[in-house]
Structure 1
Amino acid sequence: MRNRSTTLGISCILIAVTLLSLCIGQPPEPTPSPTQESEYDVSAIIDKIDVSDPQSYHAAEELVSLGRPAVPALLGLLNSLDPKIRWAAIYALSRLALPEDIEDLAKGLDDPDVGIQVITAATLLGLGDERGTNILEEAANSDLMFPYTNPPDALGDYASWVLEQGTQAGSFEPEGTLDEVSPITEPNDGVTVDITECTIDMTMNLQFMGDGATEKLASMWADAITEMWSGKSSAGCTTKVTVNTLIKDEYDPLYFPVIVKKMLHPGAQHVSYVWYLQGEPVCCEWDSNDTGFAVAHEAGHMLGLSDDPPGNSNLSIMSQVCCDAEGNPPEAKPQHIDEILRNKNLQCPEECRPDLIVGVTATPQTPKINTVVVVTAVVTNEGKLDVTVTFSVDIFVDGNLVKTEVINGLEKDKSTSVNYTTTFSKEGNHTVKVHADSGNTVEESNEANNERTIALTVTKEDKPDLTITDITVRKEMGSPGDAVLGGDIVTFIITVENQGTQDAKGFTVTLDVRGIVQDDTIKALSAGGKTTVEFMYKVAYPGENPVKATVDPDNKVEESNEKNNVKETSLMVGSGPGIPSSPSPSPQPPSQYPDLVVTYVRVEWVIYTVPYQIHLFGVEFTVTNYGTNCQGPIKVNVWLDNQSTVVGTYTYTGSLSQGQSFSYTVTMDVPVSDEQHIAGVTVDPQNMISESNENNNTMTKTFPEETTPPPTTAPPTTAPPTTTPPPPKPPDLAVTYVRVQWVIYTLPYQMSMTGVEFTVKNFGGDCLEPIQVSIWLDNPSNTIGTYIHMGSLLQGESFHQALTLDIPISDEEHVCGVFVDPYNAISESNEGNNTLTKTFPEGGSNYLVTRGLLYPVKDVSMELTNRHIPMRFCIF
């Protein structure tokens, strides 16, 4: 490249095979380093290449800097088992090899890696050897990606490009030297720049002369110039570039001459000379026939631009003509267009600029606390020019930046919208502000209309608020007087109010007196409304009886206040004739109350062998009335191990006279653990019937029996002794199964953990609480997922769950653990069996990535590789 303030000369473009590199004059032979003198030990350089770090790939350029003396060592490395070493070697050889290296280089055509085959074939073709052409033709149709390239490069695109360049270059015969260029008179610039309305019209007339001038070459120049310089903006105007080409050996003074000569170096290469003024030539080497970036750079000089200062290029087309190490291409900058206009004494009219106008709305306009508010910002370009650069739209809530969205340009008379969803936890006044182009990246005709602010007033949310406001007691029957004595029947009156601002529908009210729970359902209660629920209860014991009423115990109604749903009190009961102060199993005289007794229980169960499992199939029972006549309905509960675990119910609707009985069998299919269990039958479980003896309503049966089953004789005619069920067993939660799912992605290479399946089983008593399960990786403190089982888990039951994950992990063995009840929130009979772990990959896994597939290997010398090393891009 040159600076127009110095002596101008001839700029030329010299074709190389693979890598772009800039030089002034003919490149000098590299000076051997100490590393070269010690048999050019390249291992230290190759060790710098980390397959997991694409930024390290440019270290391979150091191999090229060793020069021709390193070629024998590099040719030897083509036999390495390590694909990374072979790639580094062929990369350097593609830059250093000469025709005398062809036979040793040709071994790369048989490499197991198709990418190495392709770059070998391309290098041989550049040296005039076409034996690898079939490999290039086959690869041209491949959808594989080049390893060790940053960014990843398509193998098929590269092979097609090599074949195209080889075909074109094959028409040139090596002849001539740089000295054969004859100076010609200074030409007309052939370039015009003007402004029409808001368009910067640039016209370039190029005449291609010499032995190498072709229509294809001229077309490539025109496309490269148009792509780089057209569509660029300056102060609101946009460039429009027109390139006219002429192929003619006789000089036309209306055109800017481009002299194309044939090249003296082997490998079917050529050089182009771009004339400016008489003087010394300036030479640059490139990787294809007049690369588009080089052409665009020379076009910048034709437009009157000088080279940008080194070190401040920022990927400027006027300072570099190839991609950087990350593959980012150079580009024409706004300051280039500004300089072109200044040189031509031109200025874009101010009205040509864009004009961004901002609008903002919030839905709903009067939100409630904790309700969703959708903020919509609308940005419209009301100017006369499209916005061709990116700009930001910032949304602020109460002065805090909550969202920034980048907009990639905006045509004139077009709008774009940005949405943001939020909630407000406090009532009162709030603000929402939208600011477009806060960084002033867009030059506008009006910079004062880029902000808009709206005010919102947030009020309390519309939700129900259910609460128990009163509990009163009304004596129904029993002892005389107002005092409540043992044996009396009372009615609890529960007052429920909805103190919220929204109606409530479908909720439950429960009453708990000394552990006896009754419930009722309210279909609806309007906002501000009040209703009562009544529960009848037979007082069983004297003394203080705790009473608790709860509205919406299952939290089915979403309320503004969930902390006022419970009210507690107590009922003082004196000793009375109905119930003595010390409960006794003896029945009361039959003349006063019924006396319902469970007189017989038989349990039906079975063992399945495959898989082994005990099942409870049925419970047969008999209920006898030893008191006065009892009018139904009479409810019976069948429970397992604990009275709260009801597995079946039956309601007898007829009457039951003194001495009469009824029998019934409740069928079921309940899996149980392999141990002894208790099946219980309780008549009148909620004490809805006043009896002379409330202590003989339950009978239990232990199964499987340790002795012979009970006889099937008729039940006794006298009341049996009262039985009391044993205390409930604590749960015993255990993780019984774990399976880990993982996968290896090849491009780029990454092992990822994608899922975990597990089973939790309860080997103890019933668990009625939520059960939390944590998933951890390699360390119990590294939790990667959680699951909460919200239902009950009865004795012997289990649940199975699969969690989907996507967690990148290193290529080594890992341990995944599943931990049930990690915080010991549930009291268990055995706390030592709550965790089960799984090691994966099983037995370790190494893979060799070859031709886009994964192959398991055990040879430690064959590394797992599918990373990339740069092959066609400039490395700085």
Structure 2
Amino acid sequence: MMARIGRPLGDSLGGRLPYTVIIEPVKKSPPKPAPGYNLSAYIYVKNWTVIEWWTAKPKNETWITLDGYKLSRSKVTVEQGQITSNEIETYLYEKEKPKRLEKFEFKCPAAPEGFELKGWVLVKNYQVVEMHGKTTPSAAGFEYIESKTVVKEGVVREDWVLGCIYEPIKRPLPQKKAEKFDCPPPKPGYELVGYSHVKDFVLVEAWGEQTPSDQGYIYVDSFTEVRDYVAVSDEIKTCVYEPIGWKKPDLTVEIMLEAPAPKVGESIPVTVIVRNVGESATRDGTLMKLYADGKRVAVKEIPAGLKVGEEVRFDQELVFMEPGPHEIKAEVDTLDWIVETNEMNNVDTVTVSVTGLPDLTIELISGRYQVFATETVKYEFLVKNVGEDHAYNFTVSFTCKGEYASCIPSPQSLTISSLGPGEEKVLEVNVFFPSDGVYHLEVLVDSEEAVTEKDEENNYLAFMISAFPPPLPDLTVDLSGPHTVTAGESATYTLRVRNLGGSSAHDFTVKFTCGEYVSCNPPSKSWLIQSLEPGGEAVLEIEVTFPSAGEYPLTAVVDPDNVIEEEDEGNNHDSILVLASPPPLPDIAIRQAAYEITIQYVGEVATSYIYANMTIINLGADVDQSFKCKITIDGSTVGEVTVPGLESGKSYFIEMQATLPIDVRGMRMRYIADSENVIEESNENNNVGELLIEMD
């Protein structure tokens, strides 16, 4: 039916609409409902105003309910950032009411004792036509399947399959004593072995045997309250008695472990064995409960009729996520549904020690974050096992990727065969950076996930490397040695070659030259240096002889042919100017002079008897040859002496005697060193000395 409404919609589509509407048929194309649902209503809203409203059946009041689910279609028009039109279609769906199997002439069988019907599925021609409750049984339940096929003229016309699901009836926690009910005393020779209390078809209390043997008996007390021919309350109390000394079953429980030393997270197969070691079979079923660290993890039913010597096995998988000791406990018939000869052997407890998992970590212990292109850098990584168990045969993967090129090697995988708890291993990777730029290095431990670990989030290491353009060498030379020398002598000069740059220099020349117009000996020399590391130094020496006096420019040049590309090409040479002085000359000087003269007259003829001496000294260089010294009086020779040579700083004493037939008073006595001037001296003006001969 259709309702047309011309007022804006309220806050909720599920609210009551405020108008009486005219119902009229409307055709729409709603989406197909989901299985088990029917279309129940339709609403059309345009520009926030309800335009159409439809329900499956006419109603006196205009209520719309959203029981089920809805599908909406919307169309919005936006112009210049504003919504100019808005349309919404909403379809409402509600669940179908469940059908009954009887309509299809099918019926699930009555549940066996201890079970109840929990659901069914009816399939016709491979399509579900009826479904209710559970559709698959649990491990303790079962499924009943019934099929019917209709064949006409050799052709299958209909194919029906019914599946009925049954589950065990859940028993309440019984008490050994009833709170509001006492069984009557047993007959002579009998004893009470069990009771139950059912109220309104619900088991309220139970203990011991529920079914008597052929030798036992049962007492039943039943009360039913009926009002208006309808039962409103029903209560049944049952007591079971057996002859004193009757044969009882005896259930024992045992836990068996297939993995006595499991690890954290590993599945532990546990087998629980329940045996009857008593004198008779069990009449009723009971439960086995399995606990892990006090928490119940499984409840299994033990069927009735377990004979003497028979056993029932239950398999369970347990997983412990924490290391250390864990308790596994199995209990059988703890609610005492079965009366046994020994009630003290119904529990078994084992303690299993769970080993912790390995835990692999990775850290960088050496290596630079800033490198130069074309440089090979060693990186060391420390792999640790901080867990509690060994890690075997795992891979450490290394990758290094740049903006334009990858490092070498990349990728690279390293295998560690074993790493025990607390152990560590250092891995080395020599990485070549082919060009400048930014490189991303990643190291992943257990990259193939071969090891189950306690923490899978600490296996990864990533960092960034900045590669700068490769540094250049910077060669310098320092020339040192004496700046003044004596001509003809030799001097030693030192060439100190240094590399002030950031990279090594290989196979370069150092050249030394001496002299510009007059050459030294040797005039030049070259050395080949095979390698000089950054910060390195090479010391070269050369002995130079300066043949004559003058100025000699000395020059040292490193890499004179410019075969090495350097940071600074302007510091490759050094020079000094050497002044070669002439060699030193002797300087013979008169240090001291004296005389003694005696004059005699014979008549008018005078005779002078002369004694004279002088001391000469060499103030200059050694005199290696002989020279002459003489004394004269007014040109007349008193005497002459040959001096064999005179070392620098040495003195020589000379004395002479002579007789002259004249009176020498008033004359001048001259003392002359190197009288023949054979010695080249630095000072030729101190070779002569004169004394006036004076006598009283």
Larger-gyration structure (1/2): 2
User: TM-score, normalised on structure 1?
Assistant: 0.27
More strand as a share of residues: 2
Larger RCO: Structure 1 or Structure 2 (Cα < 8 Å, ≥ 6 residues apart)?
1
